[in-house]
Amino acid sequence: MILTAVLCNDGECAAAYEWTVEQIGGAPIVWPDDGTRTLPGLSCGEITARLQVSPISPSGVAILTFTATTAGTDCGPPGGSAGCAAASWINVPDFIYNPVEIRYKTFIHCEVAGPTPAAPWLYDFFGGDNRPFGYSWSVNRSRTFQSCLVTVDPAYPNGQVEEPLQRTGISRGYDDSPPASDVIPLAVPTCGGQCAYTFVPGATAECVAQVPDASGAGMLDIDFIRQDPSTVDVILLIDAADQCETVVPGINAWLTIRFRQRCVNGEMTPVEYRAWGNYDGYPWYEVYLNGSLIFSHDPCLTGDTPNSMFPPPLGTIYQFEVSNPALQNWQPVPGQ
């Protein structure tokens, strides 16, 4: 952000000079030295002021001040003295940084996933999550679950507000031997024939497994990277192998969501975002910002099956940009 201040030298006010504030907040400026900022050989010019910033949604105003110096002579408080230049107090409107919640989930829409082909699959069928798209579904009805809170507020060096929540669901594999001991066909298959079976009462999984402590360690990751004072990237990674399978690839995806919030004409803009990345064609994907769906992938529509998790040509890799071109452009984050 560029602020303009009138510098007064020897009691005469000179022209306005612009100076850059790297970080804006609701507290007085905090100098990195003894209280002055020296401009060698200059009586005025650009001064970079680093502020003590406040938490999200600060109240009140930020009182900013700086002093300049001539020929190495340190200036005193605002108002200056002989041979010095100094700036007046400047009141800056309240700068509110809006936090954004990201919720990113994968799931299997069907009650039963399968039947799988022969080798290398170890099990005939797998337990699905048996649900539609929806923000409220928890990790208990998801394959992977990632949630975090991000802000562009420079008070947070990388934009991370709190510890992210990352979890993996429970894998259940069924060998259905003898046939119909675990699953039976549905009278009317759905999802283009992908959801074609239901569990029989008393069906027992031959494999029930989950990543230790369910935290997704080594399989899920969220990275926060600040690009500049007004822009933060959040990178969400999935490399989640089914815990009942040893050879078949798992869910693989990476998604970058870039957020920015700028000061324009003295006021903060809404938070904007754009997103890009790629993902396997299976299973179902959903991405929410502040509870609003911004992206989804539905194998019922694309015809992708569990084999789509293999590398091409057997599998399928999609790009977020290609499947939703609007995500390439800056858009307001919903729910602000």
Q: What pLDDT score does 90 carry? A: 36
Of 237, 312, 241, 326, nearest to 281 by C-alpha is: 312
Q: What gap in Å lies between CA 80 and CA 305, rounded to an integer?
A: 73
Domain closes at, from 39, 64, 96? 96
pLDDT, position 86: 37
What integer pLDDT is reported at residue 119 of this predicted model? 64
**Once rounded to an integer, what is the mean pLDDT over residues 3-18?**
31
User: pLDDT of 91-145, one tens digit each?
Assistant: 334 457 889 999 999 999 999 998 887 667 788 899 999 999 999 998 889 999 9
User: What is the number of domains present in the chain?
Assistant: 2
Residues 130, 92 share a domain: no
Q: In the numeric block, which tokens belong to residue 120?
A: 């290398």
CA dihedral 227, 229, 230, 236 (to 10 degrees): 40
The whole model's pTM is what?
0.72
Question: Are 193 and 166 in a shared domain?
Answer: yes
Asked if residue 284 has pLDDT above 80, the reply is: yes
Q: Are residues 85 and 222 in the same domain?
A: no
Considering the domain architecture, whether residues 45 and 119 belong to the same structural domain is answered as: no
Same domain, 6 and 125: no
Q: What are the φ/ψ torsions at residue 168 (nearest 5 degrees)?
A: -115, 150
pLDDT reading at 12 higher than 80: no
The pLDDT of residue 95 is 58
- Segment 48-62, tens digit of pLDDT: 332 222 222 233 223
Which range of residues forms the domain containing residue 256? 100-332
Residues 289 and 164 in one domain: yes
Distance CA 141, CA 190 (A): 19
Spatial separation of the C-alpha atoms in residues 52 and 13, rounded to whole Å:
28
Specify whether 75 is located in the same domain as 158.
no
In tens, the pLDDT along 54-88 reads 222 233 223 333 443 333 333 333 333 333 333 33
Q: Following DSSP, what letter does each residue of 118-159 receive, concatenated? A: STT-S-SEEE-----S-TT--GGG-SEEEEEEE---TTSTTS
Residues 89 and 122 both lie in one domain: no
CA distance 137 to 2: 44
Parallel, antiparallel, or unpaired for β 220-228 and 284-289?
A: unpaired
Q: Name the residue type at position 85.
A: A
Q: Closest by alpha carbon to 164, among 222, 250, 230?
A: 222
Per-residue pLDDT, averaged over 199-218, amounts to 78
Are residue 111 and residue 137 in the same domain, yes or no? yes
Q: Give φ, ψ of 328 to 5 degrees.
A: -75, -20
Q: What are phi and psi of 13, to 5 degrees?
A: -80, 125
